[in-house]
Amino acid sequence: MADRSLRADDQEEAVRRYADMVYRLAFARMGNTSDAEDVFQEVYLRYLTSAPDFASEEHRKAWLLKVTVNCAKKLHTAPWRRRTEPLDETVAAPSREDTDLWEQLRRLPERYRTVLHLYYYEGLSTRETAALLGCRDATVRSQLTRARQKLRELMKEE
């Protein structure tokens, strides 16, 4: 019984520690709050029900990031999504710079948004990002380069 309560405390701590990271990645992948919340719930449901053992905190973090990417991919490719139209969302008064940047980021393809988010917001290296996304390190570097170029072009248009 003590082992079970220790595990529950560990799980609660992990949710508190990584909740923002999981939500930000889900939002970057999905592009709206409702889908990001769905992904967030699915990730933590899997975490709490499977109760995996981790070798380290880095292993736990990598597992949560990988499951977030996979859940977002699964939701993004769901058949019902092909028959829906996204709604414009209202966000609580961000700064003008944040709004402009977010609008430009939303115009980028999902693969570019994802690598930018993992690299700049989560601080992952290109090698870690490649492992997480299941691609080569060179692919991530080229996607980052293309994403930066595309974002620069979009910002110049504004």
Position 87 pLDDT exceeds 70: no
Range of the domain at 78: 1-88
Q: 89 or 42: which carries more pLDDT confidence?
A: 42
- Non-local CB neighbours of 60 within 8 Å, separated by 6+ positions: 14, 18, 54
Among 63-72, 87-96, 119-128, 137-146, whose mean pLDDT is lowest? 87-96
Q: Based on the domain organization, do 82 and 14 belong to the same domain?
A: yes
Position 65 pLDDT exceeds 60: yes
Last-in-domain residue among 88, 119, 135: 88
Q: Based on the domain organization, do 114 and 47 belong to the same domain?
A: no
Last-in-domain residue among 88, 116, 141: 88
pLDDT at 93: 47
Last-in-domain residue among 88, 116, 146: 88
Question: What pLDDT digit, counting tens, does each position of 38-60 carry?
Answer: 999 999 899 888 878 888 889 99
Residue type, 78: A
pLDDT at 30: 85
Question: What pLDDT digit, counting tens, does each position of 124-144 carry?
Answer: 899 999 998 899 999 999 999
Residue-wise DSSP of the chain:
-HHHHHHHHHHHHHHHHHHHHHHHHHHHHHSSHHHHHHHHHHHHHHHHHH----SSHHHHHHHHHHHHHHHHHHHHT-GGGGG--PPP---S---HHHHHHHHHHHHS-HHHHHHHIIIIIS---HHHHHHHHTS-HHHHHHHHHHHHHHHHHHHHH-
The CATH number assigned to the domain holding 120 equals 1.10.10.10
* Nearest residue to 142 via CA among 108, 112, 107, 101: 112
Question: What pLDDT digit, counting tens, does each position of 12-43 carry?
Answer: 888 889 999 999 999 988 888 888 999 999 99
Q: Can you give the pTM of this predicted structure?
A: 0.58
pLDDT at 144: 93
Position 2 pLDDT exceeds 50: no
Q: Based on the domain organization, do 113 and 79 belong to the same domain?
A: no
